[in-house]
């Protein structure tokens, strides 16, 4: 593990995407639409979505190129429609993109544009970035190391805030929406400014375990938008070209900004922040005495009234996983922990909570589900009422017997389904002839549904749907201002809607068609008004603050209604004083995308199967390796060609490993040829060559459900090894061979983990491996290991108990690898029988939130104390064939540093002290051992 930091950063830069190896079943037939800029790969039946993505990219490409550069290499985009995840990425090593096509319910989050189009205008900007950042030193690294080398060069020279900020600017420029116009997107920074939180630049870049910090998306947009506004549309093209080429020294981007803006980096970013602070200067300030000192206390979300005095809501914090809480006055009671989900939304009615829980497919990683779960608030017990469904935003009817939920099918079609509340059985699927996308439906009386809806343009309204006829009436004029969280109380529907610089709470009287804004009589410092809850005499909502989402609760007499016209259209979204958005030739280019049909052809699953893309150097003394790594676009075949030099023996090795994941079991195979291996025989060195071939199967299963993430894996491989002595020694030694089987079972189970938790509070990890010779030599080895995690004395403390047992046959003729976790501090050997018990206690020490020179930032210092005990026996250990029986006990402590390097790469390292309580029989002097543990975690 003692590898150079360069290698760590290569892996960090290239292997952080959420790819799923072998994630799609073999039954899927793939097709493609080809344009010069992009090949869109999609499953059968998704033709219209693929056409829209391809046409959008073709329309935008040439128009937006001048602001980033004109280099172009076709990218392959794989459309994943089997998943319930809303996400996408573009990455190098290999160069490809994946769109996860299920749109999210919260239109404030990324906007309400049609999801495939939103992904196309955002993600293709990343494609243009990578194409044009292949310059200078970054290009040199690509020549040496392939795409992984460019990924490293780009990660070291162009920060992630630019990648995402520039892509958000692009979506804001080419559409009438985009996150750069949405108030919700800026809530984090607005809350920090309102509370007077003057965090350092490194803290804003790297985050904190104590305090809330916004991610790099809004930070990046503010920097990019200000740069375009102040210095022109080609400013960032020039800056990033110089940075990616490393033309401006050790801090490439900072030097490039100074060269092209004429001011230093600190001045530039302060000016960018000040521009947006002026935009939001009307925000109420948090003047409370402890506002600046208050850490992140936790989120309080989706309040629901049981009665006037009792609220239910979801609470989560940095040291606590999400749980449902019931509050009466100042008294609180936890109801139940929320299961794994992609959305914290829930609904309440008559003693029951319902929410949509995430569940992965047993085998296929790109296929997962959103299933409905009901919780009884009196007992805390829950039961799952649907299986293998894709339901979102469920809500009960007034009598609690029926549920309405949004189904987002794999075809992309959105429907409202009515379900039996007891068993989840489908009662009715309401027609959707207008092609609407439904969000947060609610029952209105016995025969109607109210839902926030998006049309095919991405404009939003409130819709009233008749359950019997399916007829739809729009209650508001359509606009690009997002709407979410409708809540029905009698003949009134409350909802949050973007209006100007804020997301405001409105109420529409359905009987009179009167619209009004809901305002608290006394202004508070929370940003926005979301997720309203209404009782007979009270109203509550959540607003964002520097310490999390906070409940705002008022008596009805403490709010005022400001009438708003419901007969006029709403205003356009604000540009936040970025005037170049309107002047650019690409402004609102999305509206001009044509729907002409492009040719569709079949896409072969064997296309580009090897696709070698990167060379990774591995410096792990005494082994020095170069690894040529390949992966196909569908992520079903991974292969690696390796050359290794061993400094100790001087041998050279050529190896190849491959895995094919498109079938239910993975197919694994590999071969190694080692030449000039050497040994010692009667004081004379002998040389021989080794041939190793292996093949096997692996079945990875994902058993996650409810509150636990579980995995189970079975594997079996057959190994053949042959030793061939070189010519000078063939008269003395005969060539030999052996074969053996290696069988493994691995199981893991863990609860969800809060941000500050060092380990999950409950988790188990068990591994069993058995190796047995088949022919050539007699040998066997059994190894089992396990670690069990338990809560410590405080919420962020963790107790880990582990054990291991190994047995190998006496006089084994095969030198199996030694994977036994020997006691810390000792020189490890593989012996006939070994068993180990270990205990370690982990705890945080400090959260420095401090760094130096934009190079290294310390987020957390943590420690552990441990005790290890290994007992080992070997029947013929000494020269006189006497047996060995010995204990190897150690105790000690370690300190670890969780850091960020270059404001991006997460690396943890530590120093461990071990006190040996027994003799080290296999090497080393003294009882005190100090080790540098590098790295503990990279990914």
pLDDT at 18: 55
Q: Percent of the chain beyond pLDDT 70?
A: 96
Neighbouring residues of 393: CB distance < 8 A, sequence distance ≥ 6: 105, 343, 345, 347, 356, 405, 406, 439, 440, 441
pLDDT at 392: 98
Least confident window among 552-561, 569-578, 843-852: 569-578
* Tens-digit pLDDT profile for residues 823-881: 999 998 888 999 999 999 999 999 999 999 999 999 999 999 999 999 999 887 665 56
* Tens-digit pLDDT profile for residues 670-691: 999 999 887 766 667 778 889 9
| Alpha carbons 867 and 416: distance in angstroms, whole number | 57
Least confident window among 5-9, 132-136, 269-273, 912-916: 5-9
Mean pLDDT computed over every residue of the chain: 93
Burial 365-384 (b: 16+ CB within 10 A, else e): bbbbbbbbbbbebeeeebee
* Tens-digit pLDDT profile for residues 517-539: 999 987 788 999 999 999 999 99
Cα dihedral 156/160/163/166 (nearest 10): -130
pLDDT at 728: 77
| Alpha carbons 618 and 7: distance in angstroms, whole number | 7
Instruction: Answer yes or no: is pLDDT of 222 > 70.
Output: yes
Dump the DSSP string for 571-604. Answer: PPPP-TT-THHHHSTTTTGGGG---PPPPEEE--
* Tens-digit pLDDT profile for residues 809-837: 888 878 888 899 999 999 988 889 999 99
Is-cis flag, bond preceding 794, omega within 30?
no
Q: Taking residues 373-394, what's their average pLDDT?
A: 97
State the pTM of this model. Answer: 0.95
Q: Taking residues 216-223, what's their average pLDDT?
A: 98
Q: Any idea what the Cα angle at residue 473 is, between residues 471 and 477, rounded to 5°? A: 150
pLDDT at 577: 96
Beta bridge partners of 908: 898, 937
* Tens-digit pLDDT profile for residues 616-660: 998 877 889 999 999 999 999 999 999 999 887 889 999 999 999
Q: Are strands 502-509 and 514-520 parallel, antiparallel or unpaired?
A: antiparallel
pLDDT at 114: 96
831/493: higher pLDDT: 493
Instruction: Answer yes or no: is pLDDT of 937 > 70.
Output: no
Domains and CATH numbers, the chain: 32-288+577-602 (1.10.390), 299-564 (2.120.10.30)
Beta bridge partners of 725: 688
- Taking phi over 0 as left and psi of -120 to 50 as alpha, with beta for the rest, 772 belongs to beta
* Tens-digit pLDDT profile for residues 91-122: 999 999 999 999 999 999 999 999 999 999 99
* Tens-digit pLDDT profile for residues 439-456: 999 999 989 999 999 999
pLDDT at 811: 80
pLDDT at 216: 97
State the DSSP H helix or E strand holding residue 487, giving kind and residue range, or none if neither: strand 483-489
Is-cis flag, bond preceding 18, omega within 30?
no
Beta bridge partners of 496: 484, 505
pLDDT at 570: 61
Q: Taking residues 719-728, what's their average pLDDT?
A: 87
State the DSSP H helix or E strand holding residue 686, giving kind and residue range, or none if neither: strand 684-702
């Amino acid at each position: 593990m003692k590898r150079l930091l360069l290698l760590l950063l290569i892996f960090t830069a290239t292997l952080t995407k959420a790819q799923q190896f072998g994630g799609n079943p073999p039954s899927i037939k793939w097709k493609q639409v080809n344009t010069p800029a992009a090949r869109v790969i999609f499953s059968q039946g998704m033709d219209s979505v693929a056409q829209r993505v391809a046409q959008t990219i073709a329309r935008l490409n040439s128009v937006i190129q001048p602001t980033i550069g004109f280099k172009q290499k076709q990218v392959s985009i794989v459309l994943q429609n089997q998943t319930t995840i809303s996400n996408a990425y573009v990455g190098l090593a290999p160069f490809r993109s994946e769109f996860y096509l299920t749109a999210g319910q919260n239109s404030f989050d990324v906007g309400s544009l049609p999801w495939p189009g939103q992904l196309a205008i955002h993600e293709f900007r990343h494609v243009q970035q990578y194409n044009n950042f292949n310059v200078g030193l970054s290009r040199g690294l690509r020549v040496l190391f392939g795409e992984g080398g460019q990924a490293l060069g780009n990660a070291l020279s162009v920060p992630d805030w630019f990648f995402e900020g520039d892509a958000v600017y692009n979506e804001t420029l080419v559409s009438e929406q985009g996150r750069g116009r949405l108030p919700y997107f800026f809530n984090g920074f607005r809350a920090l400014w309102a509370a007077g939180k003057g965090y350092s630049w490194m803290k804003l870049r790297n985050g904190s375990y104590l305090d809330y910090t916004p991610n790099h998306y809004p930070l990046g947009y503010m920097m990019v938008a200000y740069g375009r506004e102040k210095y022109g549309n080609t400013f960032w093209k020039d800056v990033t070209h110089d940075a990616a080429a490393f033309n401006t020294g050790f801090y490439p981007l900072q030097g490039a900004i100074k060269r092209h803006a004429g001011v230093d980096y600190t001045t530039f970013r302060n000016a960018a922040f000040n521009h947006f602070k002026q935009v939001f200067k009307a925000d109420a300030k948090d003047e409370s005495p402890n506002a600046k000192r208050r850490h992140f206390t936790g989120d309080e979300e989706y309040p629901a009234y049981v009665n006037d005095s009792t609220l239910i809501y979801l609470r989560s914090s940095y040291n606590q996983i999400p749980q449902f809480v019931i509050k009466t006055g100042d008294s609180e009671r936890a109801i139940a922990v929320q299961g794994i989900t992609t959305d914290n939304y829930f609904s309440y009615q008559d003693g029951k909570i319902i929410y949509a829980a995430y569940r992965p497919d047993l085998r296929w990683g790109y296929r997962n589900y959103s299933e409905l779960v009901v919780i009884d608030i009196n007992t805390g017990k829950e039961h799952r009422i649907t299986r293998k469904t894709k339901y979102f935003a469920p809500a009960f009817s007034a009598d609690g017997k029926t549920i309405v939920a949004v189904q987002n099918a794999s075809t992309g079609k959105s429907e409202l389904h009515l379900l039996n509340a007891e068993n989840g059985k489908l009662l009715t699927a309401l027609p959707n002839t207008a092609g609407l996308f439904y969000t947060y439906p609610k029952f209105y009386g016995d025969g109607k549904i109210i839902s926030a809806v998006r049309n095919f343009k991405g404009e939003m309204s409130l819709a009233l749907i008749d359950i019997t006829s399916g007829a739809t009436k729009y209650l508001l004029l359509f606009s690009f201002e997002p709407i979410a969280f409708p809540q029905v109380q009698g003949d009134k529907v409350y909802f949050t809607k973007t209006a100007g610089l804020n997301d405001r709470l409105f109420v529409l009287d359905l009987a009179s068609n009167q619209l009004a804004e809901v305002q608290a009589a006394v202004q508070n410092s929370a940003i926005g008004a979301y997720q309203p809850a209404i009782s007979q005499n009270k109203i509550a909502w959540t607003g964002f603050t520097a310490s999390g989402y906070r409940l705002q609760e008022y008596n009805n007499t403490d709010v005022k209604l400001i009438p708003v016209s419901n007969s006029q259209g709403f205003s356009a979204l604000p540009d936040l004083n970025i005037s170049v958005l309107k002047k650019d030739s690409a402004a609102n280019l999305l509206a001009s995308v044509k729907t002409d049909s492009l040719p569709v052809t079949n896409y072969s699953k064997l296309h580009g199967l090897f696709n070698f893309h990167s060379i990774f150097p591995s410096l792990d003394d005494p082994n020095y390796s170069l690894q040529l790594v390949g992966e196909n676009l569908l992520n079903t075949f991974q292969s690696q060609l390796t050359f290794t030099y061993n400094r100790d023996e001087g041998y050279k090795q050529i190896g190849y490993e491959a895995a094919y994941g498109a079938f239910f079991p993975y197919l694994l195979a590999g071969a190694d040829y080692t030449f000039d291996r050497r040994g010692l025989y009667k004081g004379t060195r002998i040389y021989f060559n080794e041939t190793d071939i292996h093949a096997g199967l692996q079945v990875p299963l994902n058993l996650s459900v409810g509150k636990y993430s579980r995995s189970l894996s079975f594997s079996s491989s057959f190994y053949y090894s042959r030793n061939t002595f070189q010519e000078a020694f063939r008269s003395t030694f005969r060539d030999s061979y052996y074969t053996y089987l290696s069988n493994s079972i691995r199981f893991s189970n863990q609860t969800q983990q809060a941000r500050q938790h060092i380990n999950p509070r409950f988790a188990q990890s068990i591994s069993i491996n058995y190796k047995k010779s088949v022919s050539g030599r007699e040998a066997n080895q059994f190894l089992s290991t396990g670690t069990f995690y338990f809560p410590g004395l405080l919420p962020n403390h963790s107790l880990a108990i582990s054990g291991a047992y190994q047995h190998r046959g006496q006089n084994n003729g095969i030198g199996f690898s030694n994977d036994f976790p020997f006691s810390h501090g000792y020189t490890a050997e593989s012996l006939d029988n070994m068993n180990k018990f270990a205990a370690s206690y982990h705890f945080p020490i400090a959260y420095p939130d401090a760094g130096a020179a934009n190079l290294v930032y310390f987020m957390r210092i943590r420690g552990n104390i441990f005790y290890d005990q290994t007992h080992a026996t070997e029947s013929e250990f000494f020269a006189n064939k006497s047996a060995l029986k010995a204990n190897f006990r150690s105790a000690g402590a370690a300190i670890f540093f969780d850091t960020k390097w270059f404001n991006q790469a997460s690396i943890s390292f530590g120093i461990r002290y071990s006190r040996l309580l027994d003799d080290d029989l296999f090497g080393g002097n003294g009882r005190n051992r100090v080790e540098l543990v590098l790295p503990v975690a990279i990914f």
